[in-house]
Amino acid sequence: MSPDHPRPTGTAAADLLTLEFADPPPAAAGIGGPRESAAETHLIGPRGARPRGPAALDHLDPRMVGIIGRAGVGHVAAADATGQCDSAFREITVLDPRRIAYPAAGPAPAAVGVLLLDFTDEPVGLHVNGRAHAEGPWIVVEVEEARIHGTPGA
């Protein structure tokens, strides 16, 4: 490393911990100010609560099935019964409106969240949460909550 670019030590110097922005970030539309979080304005609810509303379904509707078909691959975040977590990209298959599946790669998780993005027909994301179990070489997810993000009224 050159003197202008010292080798990282893994710790921050004390003077770096006191840095402040020259200008505060602008307030987001609909939020009172830069220090007020979305949760405080009830956009997403209190910490740890899932947003609920008319857009959240307990099954996949035809539009959601289409998003999965076009995206094909989703980001799967999973936790087992002990709380051990993992995330990876997996090919997602729709079994029926209440179940999706992906190839197993290790022990079966207890809970799964899947995010699929569709950039082909409409710029949206589909978020699916559910309980999971192994069926042969597949992890099957029983859909508990499915919602589309990114379009008005979704």
The Cα-based distances of 66 to 37, 49, 52, 59, 137 in angstroms read: 33, 28, 22, 13, 24
Residue 65 reports pLDDT greater than 90 = yes
At residue 79 the predicted structure's pLDDT band, cuts being 50, 70 and 90, is very high
Domain annotation covers residue 111:
yes
Whether 33 maps to a domain, the answer reads: no
Convert 26-39 to b/e letters by CB count within 10 Å (16 or more is b): eeeeeeeeeeeeee
In tens, the pLDDT along 2-57 reads 555 555 555 555 554 454 544 454 444 444 444 443 333 333 334 444 554 447 89
Is there a domain that residue 80 lies in? Answer: yes
Give pTM, 2 decimals: 0.63
At 115, the pLDDT band (50, 70, 90 cuts) reads: very high
Work out the pLDDT band at 73, boundaries 50, 70, 90. very high
Q: What is the CATH number of the domain that holds 127?
A: 2.30.110.10
Q: What is the pLDDT of residues 123-146, one digit of tens each?
A: 888 999 999 999 999 999 999 999
In-domain check, residue 48: no
* Residue at 44 is within a domain: no
Residue 118: its pLDDT value, please? 81
Count of domains in the chain? Answer: 1
Q: Is residue 6 part of a domain?
A: no
CA 42 to chain centre: 19
Q: Is residue 122 part of a domain?
A: yes
Q: Which domain holds residue 107?
A: 62-149
Read off the pLDDT of each residue in 61-89 and give the average, rounded to a whole number. 92
Question: In sequence order, which residues have a C-beta less than 8 Å from that of residue 18 and are 6 or more positions away?
Answer: none
Residue 37 lies in a domain: no
